[in-house]
Amino acid sequence: MGPLPVPRCFYSGLAAISLLLLPGLVGAAPDVALQVSVSPEVPVAGQPVEIRVVATNVGTTDATDAVILDRLPTEVAIPAGMTHFASTGTYSPATGEWRIGTLAPSAIASLTIPVTLVGATQPACIVNVARATTPGDLNPAND
């Protein structure tokens, strides 16, 4: 067996995606890439904040049973009278599960969560982590 092919990198607009091109295995799999943004990036106590998660299937086949886990940090909460908006699927703030279902190649789904800081003072740092759990995902590094 000869040397393995060199990975080629492509830029998707959301993340750099490395595809190892092997004979007969030309990336024929789903690949859900995530992008998370927060606006404003440095909120003050009581200020509305928007967390936005965008999932894109940059793979070549359907991503079936796509689930994104995004538990809200304890320093924030969805204000009374407001709710999240998922362009596709359902989101449970209690579990942090965003069940997208099937995401076709090149399809994009988004989740917007309005929050405010819980305490009266601004914490030094708030970390929000979203992670994709998609069976057969080609590149878990961009989840």
Rounded mean pLDDT of the chain? 78
Q: Which pLDDT belongs to residue 16?
A: 32
- Render the chain in DSSP notation, one character per residue: --PPPPPEEEE-SSSEEEE--BTTBSS-S--EEEEEEEESSS--TT--EEEEEEEEE-SSS-EEEEEEE-PPPTTEEPPTT---EESSSEEETTTTEEEEEEE-TT-EEEEEEEEEESSSS--S------EEE-TT-S-GGG-
pLDDT category, 9, cuts 50, 70, 90? Answer: very low
Q: Which pLDDT belongs to residue 81?
A: 92
Q: What is the pLDDT of residues 95-140, one digit of tens each?
A: 999 999 999 999 999 999 999 888 777 777 777 788 888 777 777 7
Q: What is the pLDDT of residues 50-101, one digit of tens each?
A: 999 999 999 899 999 999 999 988 888 999 999 999 999 999 999 999 999 9
Q: Higher pLDDT residue, 109 or 46? A: 109
pLDDT category, 25, cuts 50, 70, 90? Answer: very low
Q: Which pLDDT belongs to residue 119?
A: 78
Q: Which pLDDT belongs to residue 40?
A: 86
pLDDT category, 5, cuts 50, 70, 90? Answer: very low
